[in-house]
Amino acid sequence: MKETIIQFGEGVFLRGFVDYFVQKMHTAGVYDGKIVVVQPIEKGRCDELNRVGCRYNLFLRGISNGKEVCERTEVHSISRCVNPYADFSAFLALAHNPDCRVVVSNTTEAGIAYSDADRFDDAPPASFPAKVTRLLYERYRTGLGGFLFLPCELIDNNADQLRECVLRYAALWNLGEEFVQWVQRENTFANTLVDRITTGYPTEEAAELEKQIGYADPFLDTAEIFHLWVIQGNFEHELPLQHAGINVVWTDDVTPYKKRKVRILNGAHTSMVLAGHLYGLTTVLECLQDPVMHEFLSKTLFDEIIPTLGNSETDIQFGKDVLERFRNPFIHHKLLAIALNSVSKFRVRVLPSLLAYRDMTGKNPPHLTFSLAALIAFYRTDAVNDVPEVAAFLREHDTAQILANADLWGCDLTMLLGDVSAYEQLIAERGIGGALACIKA
């Protein structure tokens, strides 16, 4: 089967989302292309994935119509994994394959970022957009047509931002006006929104699930049943997702779907998980089952986030549905997994709601502001998993310096210093539980 999709990222989300969708298209007999995965960072699992033949099992579990549902799919939609850090020529060779048409990615919110430290001759350049630019330039030199980009990173206008980074690298590297025109003329950058809670390898349940499979699976993946992929444009003729029964929305404007989902679902996750971890909990489900954390999350959602979106019935119902999805008894979503790159996630997922609440009321939202204090407290522990420079800055600087760093947050947050410092003091004196009890609306 020919390789038609280039995928940047081998993590649990893409394996439980895009790769599963391609498998469903195979099963439905409506698509005959496979995925070649590119490892986007130096430390990854490319070699391991190749060793198991790029096959793995995905369990989708949840409650549907009052009944427990458990669906297992063996996914073999990936043909191979290329590690550009070990074989850069193999990465560039992807540009020479005329069958490769679609590029998908999930490099976290921090992934679509420009760095003038990247050089054309780096093999490979460090950033994801720089790697894309090198791939595009190689494609351009072959005389082949461009790609359809479907980035899955949870940032506003993800494809537009990726294209902007590519054009900046084209200028930095003096790749020429003809290449710039080719990028804009021959390539399509489609903004997208993705929605599925994917929880990855189920450590505590792996042995039992592998009994059902019949063999050990180091890439075993788990996710909820619900899924949604909103894509700008309509490419059903190239990717017959709807024909395969996938819940995809082709639309001219992703914005309203994305704003609701990122602010409510992802905002709920990010505003809750660091406080939940410091409180001694380990999963989202435990947070929903704990009365203190449940109250914190409910007030965050319905008193502070949803009112900034307009408090429509649609938004309120979406918030209720999110709480139900978080209560899925099969989803053991680790708080520390969600905590990866929390600063960039907070900036994208939580800070817009916090600032909108300030604009709307003239006051700091207490629960969202508390979540920022919890973030700072978390970054002074050993559990942090973030870009080294970001982690070091929060660990080595005081709260005033952290909040004033506009490079971290996109703006100066000094106006939050009084409330954030007060919450930090409460956390230090009373612990997270005692501090949560002191939050006043």
According to DSSP, the residues that pair with 195 across neighbouring strands are 228
- As a whole number of angstroms, the distance between CA 45 and CA 15 comes to 13
Band of pLDDT at residue 281, cut at 50, 70 and 90: very high
DSSP per position, 162-190? HHHHHHHHHHHTT--HHHHHHHHHH-EE-
State the pLDDT at residue 282. Answer: 95
According to DSSP, the residues that pair with 193 across neighbouring strands are 230
Mean pLDDT of the chain: 95
State the pLDDT at residue 244. Answer: 98
Nearest to 321 by CA among 231, 153, 195, 156: 195
Q: What percent of the chain has pLDDT over 90?
A: 92
- Count of positions (residues) in the chain: 441
Residue-wise pLDDT for 44-100, tens only, equals: 999 999 999 999 999 999 987 778 889 999 999 999 999 999 999 999 999 999 999
DSSP per position, 53-118? TT-EEEEEEEEETTEEEEEEEEE--EEEEE-TTT-HHHHHHGGG-TT--EEEE---TTTS---TT-
Rounded mean pLDDT of 339-349? 94
Span of 64-68, 395-399, 429-433 with lowest mean pLDDT? 64-68
pLDDT at 440 over 90: no
Rounded mean pLDDT of 3-8? 98
Nearest to 44 by CA among 84, 101, 15: 84
Q: What percent of the chain has pLDDT over 70?
A: 100
β-pairing, 67-75 vs 56-64, is antiparallel
91, 37 contact by CB (below 8 A): no
What pTM was estimated for this model as a whole? Answer: 0.81
Rounded mean pLDDT of 273-294? 96
Tokens of 297: 């999350």
Residue-wise pLDDT for 34-44, tens only, equals: 999 999 999 99
State the pLDDT at residue 441. Answer: 64
Neighbours of 425 (CB within 10 A): 12
In the chain, what's the furthest Cα-to-Cα distance? Answer: 65
- As a whole number of angstroms, the distance between CA 17 and CA 150 comes to 13
